[in-house]
Each structure stands twice: as C-alpha cells, then as structure tokens.
Structure 1
Amino acid sequence: MARADGIRESLARSDPFDRHVVSSILAIAAIEASVQARPFIECVGLEAGELRSLCEQLRPGAQVPSGPGPQIDQQEQTLRDILWMNSAEASVLELLISKMIARRSLRPNHLWQDLGLANRGELTALMERHFPRLASRNSQDMKWKKFFYRM
C-alpha cells in the first residue's frame, strides 16, 4: 500500500493532466458504483488508505466510504505487475495509476472509456508518459486491452 505522505507528495508534484486522469478514473468509478450499487473501493481498485489519501488531495474534505480493500484476482495482479514493472519513474502516482488501470481494464468497454477519459488520445498520452516501454511496444496502435492480454 502506498503511504499517505507519498501520495500527497506525488500529487503535489503532478501536473494538470495527471490530476485530470486520476479525477476521471475516480469519477467513472463513482458513477459505476452508484449505478450498479457496488462498493466504490471495488470499482477503483485501491486499498482504503490509498483511496482516502488520493481523494483528500484532490478534494479536501471529500467523504470517502471505507471498507475492506478490493479482491484482486490473478489476471488483475498480473496486469498490475506488468504496468508497475514498466512504469517510467516507479513513483507513488504510477503505482496508484497501475492499480487503477488494472482494475478498470476488467470493465467491458474500451479502456479509455473505462478510465473515464475523453478519447483514446488521452489514454495514449497517459501510457507514453507513465508507461513508455509499453507504449513503444504497442507500435501497431493495438487497442490497449488487447495489447495487455496478448503479452
């Protein structure tokens, strides 16, 4: 689990694009949790402390439901590991993004949609910035979920 002080520091150094990505993921997960009556933490894929710290940094005073951490199956853990091992800086922010991408990749739509992003270009920018080795390996511009599961 990422420590709260590391999350604060990582988000404080992040730029508007990174905050947009994280906010988009949290927003789409909140919508899904509400519509499907599922726990928010299950829709995001972070541990309770990580989610609380992240939300406090983005929206001070935000009410974040607590509860047990999400159940992680082997497929999700494998994708978390692939993303983390290929992160650009191995930062706390990249750890959290790895976990959220892995969780959201289990949803049925295109990954950019399941992350709440505006278009595929935003996902490409995210991958190039935080997972450049994976981005360079996706030289055929394959859909990201398909790319991940062919690895």
Structure 2
Amino acid sequence: MSGQPQEGTIWKTGISRSAPNPSCPDRLPHAQSRGIGQWPFIDPAVSFDEHVLACVLARALKEIDRGEATATQATGLKRADLRDVLTDRFPDVPVSAFALEAATDVEPAMEEQLLRDLLLAQARPGDPASARFAKIIARRAMRDDHLWQDLGLFNRAELSRLLATHFPTLAAGNTRNMKWKKYLYRMLCEAEGFSLCTAPSCGQCCDFESCFGSEEDESCLARSRNDIDLN
C-alpha cells in the first residue's frame, strides 16, 4: 500500500488542501459534490472539524504505510469509532485503506489517560465531536513535535481554533500564549497537585523559550511535499 496516494485521497474526497479564502476565513473549501460542479454550502464549524479530522487521518495513513502504527494507535480512537468517522464524514475514502482488520482497540497508557481525562473534563458538554477530539489530541500529544504538527494541521492557529471551539474554558486559560503542549501538561500537573517546573516564575526561568518560544515551523504536509520534490 502506498501512503502518498491514500493520503491524497483524503483531500480529494474530503476537505480540500488549498488555503482558506481570505474573504471568508471561517469557511474552508469542501470537496465537490458529485454531479454539482461547485462547492456546496456547509456549516463553517462542521467544515473545520472535518478539516482537522482529515489532517489526522492523513497522518494516520502515513504512519500505517510506514508500519509505525495501526489506525487505532495513530488516532486514539476505537475501530468502531474510526469506522463511524470514515463512513459519516468521508464516505468516498475506502475504509480498507486504514487496515482496521489488522488493528486492535488499544487502551491508553497512564500519561495519555490523564491527558485524555483532563480534556474530557473540559470538553463541551454533550458534544460527541469534542469527546472524540479529546481522545485524538491526547494520543497525538504522545508524539515528539509541536502539537499542531502532531495533528497534521497547517499551523498553530488551527490548533488554537480547535481548542477554543471544543475546549473553550481550558483554551481561555492560556492567557500568555504558552505552547499548547506545554500548557496542557501544566494544567495536568496542577490538576494532580504537583509541578514538573522548578522555576519560581516564568519570568525567572532560564528555559523560557521552551515554553513560550515560537511554534512557527514547516507543516508535516509541507515536509512530505519537499521530500517528494527532492526525490
């Protein structure tokens, strides 16, 4: 199975990878409907959720193709949940591409479970999408890059929007614009009653840039395209 064609399928049949229209920043371009020839009107909030899901699924496909993870390991979702997402949000994407028959439902390790519980407690009440993103974010946060990169998003601003939408109270607490992964772990430490940081205050910390430095970097999609261009 080739990761690149399958990854492209997500965007061809789901959310377009082109940039949002500056004149309408809240509406992402959607794939064309069969036989219509133009983008249908869709709810901006729904389209953004689909955009994020498409980013995560594209990352999952790449990890599956490389043998780094199964679909459940890559997303933090159970097989039944993944199947529901694919059939409901991306009906033109073949479920077989995610090799669900080779995956098993994986219970989160302690660190991931603590982060998942924190997010679930702050998720929008009664919103299945928020609960789903809590599981996805907790799993992807176990990766080594900035959290927006772990999720396959275009930039930090998209992650900020995702958190503000589905975890508004938690997101609103990041008043100093701390890096999101650092912020989530700080909230986790505070909830557990301890701190991993020994500095008396952020202003006196010799490693300030680690928590508050720029998160601007190349997206995972851009990295992939650059690798293809170079090869």
TM-score by length of 2: 0.57
Q: Which has the larger radius of gyration?
A: 2
CA contact 2:63–2:70 (8 Å) conserved in 1 = no
Moved over 6 A (4+): none
Separation of aligned partners in 2, 1:142 and 1:35: 32
Structure 1, residues 46-98: CA drift from partner, whole Å, max 9, x if none?
11100111111122253241332123111111111111111123311111110
Separation of aligned partners in 2, 1:134 and 1:124: 11
1:49 to 42, 56, 80: 80
Number of the residue aligned with 1:8:
none
Q: Report SS of the residue matched to 2:149.
A: helix
Number of the residue aligned with 2:145:
109
Number of the residue aligned with 1:91:
127
Using the aligned pairs only, state the percent identity: 37
How far off its partner does 1:36 sit? 3.9
Question: How many pairs were matched up?
Answer: 140
- The answer on 1:29 being equivalent to 2:29 is no
Number of the residue aligned with 2:163:
127
Separation of aligned partners in 2, 1:143 and 1:90: 28
Structure 2 gaps of 5+ residues are 1-41, 188-231
TM-score by length of 1: 0.85
Give the aligned residue type for 2:166.
H
Structure 1, residues 81-119: CA drift from partner, whole Å, max 9, x if none?
111111123311111110000000000000000101000
Separation of aligned partners in 2, 1:39 and 1:87: 26
Q: Which of 1 and 2 has higher RCO (CA within 8 Å, sep 6+)?
A: 1
Separation of aligned partners in 1, 2:148 and 2:126: 22
CA contact 1:84–1:90 (8 Å) conserved in 2 = no
Number of the residue aligned with 2:95:
62
Output the aligned Cα RMSD.
1.7
